[in-house]
Structure formats: structure tokens, C-alpha cells
Amino acid sequence: MTMATLSSAFLFIFSCFLACSISVSGRTATFLEDFRITWSDSHIKQIDGGRAIQLILDQNSGCGFASKRQYLFGRVSMKIKLIPGDSAGTVTAFYMNSDTDTVRDELDFEFLGNRTGQPYTVQTNIYAHGKGDREQRVNLWFDPAADFHTYTIMWNHHHIVFYVDEVPIRVYKNNEAKNIPYPKFQPMGVYSTLWEADDWATRGGREKIDWSKAPFLAYYKDFDIEGCPVPGPANCASNPRNWWGGTAYQALNAMEARRYRWVRMNHMIYDYCTDKSRYPVTPPECMAGI
């Protein structure tokens, strides 16, 4: 190989590296690097130099935070330790939202508190082109208040997957070919809130919040966003070199599929797809499988 050929090869490799490096935002960050407080800064405390935070809910207020930027496709994860003990009536939420009114896209984790000794329920929901009401609920198979666990939203052109640690609990496929809406046009920010919702959160609102147990505390750490920031390079969202769009992430692998079936068989307690009182005709996306 001639020196000219070597030089051309080097320039090609370097340009590919540069294109990849400028198209993707991704690193474990401290809280204030990537996030801002949106609600009640007196109820959010930084811990360990901003590498972790504490969210507080009391009778005066809940609280919330959001990413400084929006993203179009990628993976977002956080480690969360939920409220211990009697958490009935509380909701700890981690979600992505397009921050648009009539045509909202949103991907929700909502952790519904419970009476002491009862399992925590995680509710997921998906809004696509303004249409939501796609709730599923799973009882967690561990105590999420005893330690941190990783909660992840994977979003690419092929599907959306909600993970608890490395276990997929929800899959929503891109079935636009069947005229089923899929969120892909609007960037979304990353949000979290801790708030009172005892009119619906625990056993349909039958279990009310016990303010004698306040303050209610939840903890977050290891904030990780890997995605295409908006504003940012225009070609990022369609860049085939983005790892989350690669072949390995276009469908569940065999191990993930087994874990997904295990969750649905053993821990799912509600699925809008099978709720005939709400949907006498099964919604079309429910027929798509994984």
C-alpha cells in the first residue's frame, strides 16, 4: 500500500470517527451538568458532589427536574432507590416528554407506592402523536426501596423498550406500515417528579397517603443519556452508526425475550390490551407482538 493510499485511509477513518463523535451525546453526568430543577428546588438535595440527588415529598410540596436538552432517539437510564416503608399515594415518575400540548409524545415510568409490605407497582405508558391511554402495570419482583436499581428507556426507529435492570418489561414496536402511530418526529426531554396522587395511585385511590410518614424520600444517581441532542447535528437521528440503532438493538435477543415473557406471565397485573371494558375492540398495536 502506498503512502498516498495510507493517508487516504487514515483520513476516511478519522472522518468517520469525527462524524460519530459529534452526532451522539452520551456520558454519565453529574446532576447539574445535564439537568435543571423544574419544581420546588427546596425539595431536591444534591449528594456526593452532585453525582446523586434526593427528592422530597411533604405536605408542602413535591418536586421535579428535567434535562437541559431534548433528544431524538437513544437510551436514557437512571438508578433510582424508591420510597421505603409506607409509600401509598405517592408517585415517583421517570419519563421522556416532547413538551408539546396537542400532539404529545411521551414514554412513562411511574412507580406507584403501596402500603408497607405490599409490592411496588410500576406503570408504563406511551403517547404517540397525542394518543396515550396505553397503560401496563407490573409488580416489581424485588424491594426497590432497599437499594438502587437501573431503569432504562431504549428508543430507536424499530421499537421502544422499558427495562428494569436488564429485564425488558414493555415493548412497543414501530408498526407505522400498519398505520399505527410511532413517536419519531419530535425530540423529547428527560423528566422526573415525586408527587402526591392518592386519588388514583394505590389501589385506584382507595389507599390514601399517610402524611405522618412524611417526608417521603427517593434517591437518584448515575444519570446516563446517550442520544441525539436537539438542537444538534441534523443527520444524527438517521445516522446508521448510532449504536442504539444497530442490528443488536432492533429486536429483543433470545435472553431478553425469555425475560420479557417471564415478566408478563408472573408479574403483570394490568394490560390495557386485554381490558375489554375500555377497549371492546383490541387496539391494533396490541396485535403486533414483540
The verdict on whether 110 is a catalytic residue reads yes
Q: Give the residue among 55, 97, 86 at the shortest CA–CA distance from 189.
A: 97
28 assigned to some structural domain: no
> Do residues 129 and 181 make contact, with C-beta atoms less than 8 angstroms apart?
yes
* Distance (Å, whole) CA 240 – CA 252: 19
> Do residues 151 and 163 make contact, with C-beta atoms less than 8 angstroms apart?
yes
pLDDT tens track for 134-157: 999 999 999 999 999 999 999 999
Q: Between the CA atoms of 131, 96, 187 and 283, what dihedral angle is there, to the nearest 10 degrees?
A: -30
Could you tell me the residue range of the domain that residue 42 belongs to? 35-284
Please report the pLDDT score of residue 205 as a whole number.
84
The verdict on whether 33 is a catalytic residue reads no
142 C-beta neighbours (distance < 10 Å), count: 12
Q: Give the residue among 90, 118, 55, 59 at the shortest CA–CA distance from 209.
A: 90
- Residue type present at position 98: S
2 assigned to some structural domain: no
Compute CA distances 31 → 52, 65, 66, whole Å: 7, 10, 10
Please report the pLDDT score of residue 24 as a whole number.
55
pTM of the predicted model, to two decimals? 0.89
Q: Give the residue among 97, 93, 146, 148 at the shortest CA–CA distance from 121.
A: 93
* Distance (Å, whole) CA 103 – CA 105: 7
Domain count, the chain: 1
Q: What element of type H or E holds 257?
A: helix 254-266
Please report the pLDDT score of residue 25 as a whole number.
54
208 assigned to some structural domain: yes
Please report the pLDDT score of residue 236 as a whole number.
95
* Distance (Å, whole) CA 191 – CA 74: 15
pLDDT tens track for 66-124: 999 999 999 999 999 999 999 999 999 999 999 987 899 999 999 999 998 889 999 99
Choose the catalytic residue: 110, 196, 207, 226: 110
* Distance (Å, whole) CA 147 – CA 165: 12
Q: Give the residue among 107, 160, 161, 159 at the shortest CA–CA distance from 132.
A: 107
19 assigned to some structural domain: no
Q: Where do we find the cell 396537542?
A: 102
Choose the catalytic residue: 33, 106, 135, 207: 106
The list of the chain residues with pLDDT below 50 reads 3-23
Q: What is the CATH number of the domain that holds 170?
A: 2.60.120.200
Please report the pLDDT score of residue 9 as a whole number.
45
> Do residues 94 and 219 make contact, with C-beta atoms less than 8 angstroms apart?
no
